[in-house]
Amino acid sequence: MKIGVFVCHCGSNIAGTVDVVKVAEEARKLPDVAFASDTMYACSEPGQDGIINAIKDLDLDGVVVASCTPRMHEPTFRKTLERAGLNRYMFEMANIREHVSWVGKDKEANTKKALDLVAMAVAKLTQGKALISKKFDINKRVLVIGGGVAGIQAALDCADGGLDVILVEKTTSIGGKMSKLDKTFPTVDCSSCILGPKMVDVAQHPNITLYAASEVEKIDGYVGNYQVAITKKATYVDWDACTGCGLCMEKCPSKKSTDYFNEEVGTTTAINILFPQAIPKKASIDADFCIKLIKDKCGICAKVCPTNAIQYDQQDEIVTEPVGAIIVATGYDLFDYTKYGEYGGGRYPDVITSMQYERLLSASGPTGGHVKRPSDGKEPKTIVFIQCVGSRDKSIGRPYCSGFCCMYTAKQAILTKDHMPDSQSYVFYMDIRAPGKLYDEFIRRAMEEYGTQYVRGRVSMLYPKNGSLVVRGADTLLGKQVEIEADLVVLAVGAESAVGASKLAEKLRISYDNYGFYMESHPKLRPVETNTAGVFLAGSCQGPKDIPQSVGQGSAAAAKVLVLFSKDQLESDPQVSVVDIKRCVGCGKCIETCPFGAIEEIDFRGMTKSNVIETICQGCGICTSTCPQGAIQLQNFTDNQILAEVNVLCQQTLEKSFE
Amino acid sequence: MSSSLSYAYYPGCSGQGTSIEYEQSSQAVCKALGITLQEIPDWSCCGSTPAHTVDHTLSAALSARNLGQAEGMIVNGVITPCPSCLTNLKTASHRMKDETFRAKTNALLEKPVNNTLPIMSVLQVIYEQVGPEKLKEKVVRPLTGMKLAPYYGCIMNRPPDVMDFDDCENPIAMDRLMEALGIEITPFPLKVECCGASYGVARKDIVMHLSGKLLDAAEDCGAEAMVTACPLCQMNLDLRQGQINSANKTNHAMPIFYYTQLIGMALGLDEADLGMKKLCVDPGKAFRKMEARKAEALEESVVRRSGN
């Protein structure tokens, strides 16, 4: 076998702490190595050309590149091999950057370790063989999870691109957080006026099937062929019959139901339509408050409904949808500020969240757009905004910046002055973060045209006094303590991952960070992909984002799905388990241990044998270590390949111990 | 019970003088609740405020000496009524978790300290080991009708990772104990504000301003007396109340109790053992208002019953 070894400098990333010339020199002495050299950037065009030329000139059978993590460039180099006419699996990568040069400073030790890794890769490759991908048909339907603005954008773009879209929304209407906002920064245009038409487009698009009040229960299958079980939660109303007339809401006597849409500013009726522009505009019953469902009395909504849509005995229903790709757009939730004792921990009614304030400002909100403070319904004159509540604070486990709070606080300060010209707003801030188009100008407007007083410092405590709230904080620019008597305090609560985000991630088999935000495939270059093929991300489920960013990601994810679906067939990864039918004794242990249900029992000339369903196998290798016969082998990670690596590593140690 | 609730007791210097009534009432209440206090032999000053402003190691050594004295005793931990002593003892112990710091501190001491005993306030022991429920069972003279503002002071619960007791912004231990006695707790918002502490000597104006604010807030929320757990807080609010009134042009006549005094009253202990006479602002006023309200409530219930 003739193997070529290429040791990458990666500029000074590797060459700074590894003697790459020596690694190449030593590699040349390894068995089966026909060629070895060092190269400045193996991934660059001249670097790849060098590999191709060596393959052609020396008639190489396989290539080892010693460079960075395979997560980024393994696909790059496999393509390089294909261009030179080799099978893409006759390639091994030794990670001498993340595993060597970046973690150690001792050049001699690093060089030794790099050589070990190269020797292992070469040994593994000598036992490797060409693998051929198979092609399979794909289902060109897409599932979008979450009907906020990111999910709406993704669904519309996919649908306009000709795909069938299944849009699943947890609540009874799409619209997400944006539908609760009064205005949007930095243009101060009406949120529902710009979102509403998009929501209507979703309802009317012939390619979109909308499941509201529904959640993803289970996901089986693989890229191109997923089976998704969706639970349609009982709304106790037949949505096919409901016309959204709202008569039931008018007559419902249970008027103290939790008003989730209005962030619990005020109450709603047990049967309700989430908000006037809801899509779908259908009524649903909150079982926690419905007198009929709790005490079996009342039943007024059933009597008044002109279309007999009320169904008190409705049950949850599960539907299964086959799809080929999934866009996750499950958004975020707001930080629970009651963790902060210094802001009253939820004890003071006139300390509210920014989202509650948004509902007070909204013309379709519980106060009709008149700002009335919760305690006594009076119009506040002095309003204090506190920023970074649940952001940039290690002490409560939220060290990250939520990104959009500076901007929405400025917007709310501007709106406050618009609503109440004789009011005065104060903003306590740490730093102003406004790095967007027209963003900083917007902050300046809040300060200069609207007279908002910005105080740089944190608030240490607030307490009630004579019907108002004394807000005490530091003014770090003046170096003194300030106290402001406020009629209303608005907390700019930060973003955190959506409730249940981790559970959904496990169903999707995607990873999430310490805070529950989903991990993208690459933070810069693959921002909407995940490491699970066919699953894409859009919006705040990946990290806090404002509207333009969320919409941008919605479109980006849709584009990725359209690219994926531009072919009729996909190639399967041949790095899956294969059963050696002669060795298999049909014990079935592999079937029990496979976490993906990828192994089935077959009858082979009257004998029981195992068989791997290639498209379901994820290549984890659990079956190979379970099989007592060594009959099942993970391709490209066979026992022989791994033993070859171990051998070459242990031989060196042995030699040393005899010295 | 006595063996499980046995503690090495650190009275602190102010307990020997300005806050002798806190010291007496703490001892009396602990005895009544079955908490055995063994005074640490030959204890010395914890260093108070001056020591740690000058030198952390020296300050730690002053406190640690007392911990060392307690280490030979058969006890569950070291307890003290005074939050200032508590802070010094706990801070010393906290810092000595660092080996280098411990070595430096031990070098100053005759007897090296192992730093193994837990350190708590008397309040924490009463709240956690006895608890409001059990305390309620022992009440013979309920203080129903009394309206109190509970004032914890700024250091009883802070910094939270060192003090490790109750909520550092909204503590409730004393609230619950007082409620167990039948007392009505007013929603006092300045529970953990600073009273001005030892600035009473150097910058009296600061104490007039800060303690004045506490008295104003207590009155605003309808309290007829305040209850504290700190000798310095109590002194600023009680002894200096006249000065505060003349500086701020106010008319407060707010009795300032130690929580142990009120527990003692409710448990039916002798007033002389609780040092009620040591208080500057006449506490009688609070009890008279309490009795009046009790009588009123009784009358109302009689009227209601005869009405039926």
Q: pLDDT (tens digit, 9 = 90+) per residue, B67-85?
A: 999 998 999 999 999 999 9
A64 shares its domain with A121: yes
Q: Using CB atoms within 10 A of its CB, is residue A541 exposed (0-12), middle (13-18) or buried (19+)?
A: buried
Residue type, A260: Y
Would you say residue B2 has pLDDT above 50?
Answer: no
Q: What are the structure tokens assigned to A322, written together? A: 């086959």
Partner-chain contact A345 B189, CB within 8 Å: no
Partner-chain contact B168 A463, CB within 8 Å: no
Partner-chain contact B167 A341, CB within 8 Å: yes
3-state SS, one letter per residue, for A555-578: HHHHHHHHHHCCCCEEECCCCCEE
Task: pLDDT band for A656, please (50, 70, 90 cuts).
Answer: low
Cβ–Cβ < 8 Å for A253, A291: yes
Q: Which of residues 80-99 of B touch A (CB under 8 A)?
A: none
Q: Min CA distance, B151 vs chain A (Å)?
A: 14
Which of B167, B168, B189 lies at the smallest CB-CB distance from A463? Answer: B189
Q: Is position A644 within any domain?
A: no
Q: Min CA distance, A274 vs chain B (Å)?
A: 36
Q: Is position A145 within any domain?
A: yes
Q: What is the mean pLDDT of residues B148-161?
A: 95
If one counts the domains in chain A, the total is 5
Taking contacts as CB-CB distances below 8 angstroms, the residues of chain A near B167 are: 341, 345
Q: What is the mean pLDDT of residues A501-521?
A: 96
Would you say residue A658 has pLDDT above 80?
Answer: no
pLDDT value of position A654: 53
d(CA A167, CA A7): 48
Q: Is position A384 within any domain?
A: yes
Picking from B274, B228, B265, B267, the residue whose alpha carbon sits closest to that of residue B27 is B274
Q: Min CA distance, A348 vs chain B (Å)?
A: 10
Q: What is the mean pLDDT of residues A207-234?
A: 96
Partner-chain contact B169 A347, CB within 8 Å: no
H helices then E strands: how many in chain A?
17, 34
3-state secondary structure of B167: coil
3-state secondary structure of B193: coil
Q: Which CATH class is domain B6-121?
A: mainly alpha
Q: Min CA distance, B200 vs chain A (Å)?
A: 20
Taking contacts as CB-CB distances below 8 angstroms, the residues of chain B near A463 are: 189-190, 217
Q: Min CA distance, B279 vs chain A (Å)?
A: 28
**Domain boundaries along the sequence of chain B:** 6-121, 134-298
If you ran DSSP here, which 8-state letter would residue A237 be given? B
Percentage of chain A beyond pLDDT 90 is 93
Q: Min CA distance, B198 vs chain A (Å)?
A: 20
d(CA A396, CA A596): 38
Residues A164-195: b if buried by 16+ CB within 10 A, e if exposed: bbbbbbbbbbbbbbbbbbbbbbbeeeebbeeb
Taking contacts as CB-CB distances below 8 angstroms, the residues of chain B near A341 are: 167-170
The CATH number for A488's domain is 3.50.50.60
Partner-chain contact A465 B220, CB within 8 Å: yes
Q: Is position A70 within any domain?
A: yes
Decide which of A537, A564, A591 is a domain's last residue: A564
Taking contacts as CB-CB distances below 8 angstroms, the residues of chain A near B169 are: 340-342, 345, 461
pLDDT tens for each residue of B95-143: 999 999 999 999 999 999 999 999 999 999 999 999 999 999 999 999 9
What rounded mean pLDDT belongs to chain B? Answer: 94
Nearest-by-CA chain B residue for A348: B189
A490 shares its domain with A503: no
CA–CA distance from B98 to each of A250, A395, B69, B104, B120 (Å)?
A: 67, 22, 21, 10, 20
A428 shares its domain with A341: yes
3-state secondary structure of A462: strand
Cβ–Cβ < 8 Å for A145, A162: no
A164 shares its domain with A198: yes
Mutation for B interface: A463, A470, A489, most B CBs within 10 A:
A463
Helix axes of A20-27 and A107-126: crossing angle, nearest 10 degrees: 30
Q: Min CA distance, B168 vs chain A (Å)?
A: 8
Which of A342, A465, A466 lies at the smallest CB-CB distance from B169? Answer: A342
Partner-chain contact B217 A465, CB within 8 Å: yes
Taking contacts as CB-CB distances below 8 angstroms, the residues of chain B near A340 are: 169
d(CA B5, CA B3): 5
Would you say residue A191 has pLDDT above 90?
Answer: yes
Q: What are the structure tokens assigned to A341, written together? A: 């004792």
Q: Which residue has the higher pLDDT, B307 or B17?
A: B17
Distant-in-sequence, close-in-space partners of A348: CB < 8 Å, separation ≥ 6: A462, A464, A469, A489
Partner-chain contact A466 B169, CB within 8 Å: no
Which of A341, A464, A465 lies at the smallest CB-CB distance from B170? Answer: A341
Residue owning tokens 């310095």: B232
A388 shares its domain with A406: yes
A168 shares its domain with A50: no
Partner-chain contact A341 B217, CB within 8 Å: no
* Domain encompassing residue A583: 577-635
A114 shares its domain with A167: no
Q: What is the dihedral of CA A82, A86, A92, A96, to 10 degrees?
A: -60
Partner-chain contact B170 A461, CB within 8 Å: no
Tell whether B159 is within 8 A of chain A (Cβ): no
Taking contacts as CB-CB distances below 8 angstroms, the residues of chain A near B190 are: 463
d(CA A473, CA A459): 4
The CATH number for A64's domain is 3.40.50
Q: Which long-range contacts (CB under 8 A, 24 or more apart) does A13-16 make?
A: A13/A68, A13/A97, A13/A101, A13/A102, A14/A67, A14/A96, A14/A97, A14/A100, A14/A101, A16/A101
Tell whether B169 is within 8 A of chain A (Cβ): yes
Range B134-298: architecture per CATH: 3-Layer(aba) Sandwich (3.40)
Q: Is position A438 within any domain?
A: yes
Would you say residue A84 has pLDDT above 70?
Answer: yes
Would you say residue A614 has pLDDT above 90?
Answer: no
Would you say residue A611 has pLDDT above 50?
Answer: yes
DSSP for B104-118, written as a single string: HHHHT-SS-----S-
For chain B, how far is it from start to end, CA to CA, in angstroms? 48
Q: Using CB atoms within 10 A of its CB, is residue B140 exposed (0-12), middle (13-18) or buried (19+)?
A: exposed
Q: What are the structure tokens assigned to A593, written together? A: 């241990």
Cβ–Cβ < 8 Å for B78, B92: no
A367 shares its domain with A485: yes
Q: What is the mean pLDDT of residues A276-292?
A: 96
Residue type, A139: N
Taking contacts as CB-CB distances below 8 angstroms, the residues of chain A near B186 are: none
Query: Which residues of A make CB contacts under 8 Å with B?
Result: 340-342, 345, 347, 461, 463-466
Please name the helix (run of DSSP H) or strand (run of DSSP E) that holds residue A495, with its range, or none. strand A495-497
Percentage of chain B beyond pLDDT 70 is 98
How many CB pairs (< 8 A) connect A and B? Answer: 21
pLDDT tens for each residue of B190-212: 999 999 999 988 999 999 999 99
Partner-chain contact A345 B169, CB within 8 Å: yes
Residue owning tokens 């038409």: A197
Would you say residue B304 has pLDDT above 90?
Answer: no
Q: Phi, psi (5° rounding) for residue A384? A: -110, 130
Nearest-by-CA chain B residue for A470: B189
Tell whether B189 is within 8 A of chain A (Cβ): yes
Nearest-by-CA chain B residue for A466: B220
pLDDT value of position A477: 95
Q: Phi, psi (5° rounding) for residue A355? A: -70, -35
Taking contacts as CB-CB distances below 8 angstroms, the residues of chain B near A338 are: none
Nearest-by-CA chain B residue for A340: B169
3-state secondary structure of B183: coil
Give pTM, 2 decimals.
0.85
Q: What is the mean pLDDT of residues A153-160?
A: 98
Picking from B219, B260, B247, B250, the residue whose alpha carbon sits closest to that of residue B24 is B260
Q: Min CA distance, B202 vs chain A (Å)?
A: 21
A490 shares its domain with A342: yes
The interface pTM score, or ipTM, of the predicted complex is: 0.78
Partner-chain contact B170 A466, CB within 8 Å: no
d(CA B68, CA A6): 66
Q: Min CA distance, B123 vs chain A (Å)?
A: 21
Partner-chain contact B169 A463, CB within 8 Å: no
pLDDT value of position B1: 39
Cβ–Cβ < 8 Å for B22, B260: yes
Would you say residue A655 has pLDDT above 60?
Answer: no
Cβ–Cβ < 8 Å for A284, A237: yes
Beta strand extents in A235-285 (DSSP E only): 257-258, 267-268, 271-272, 284-285
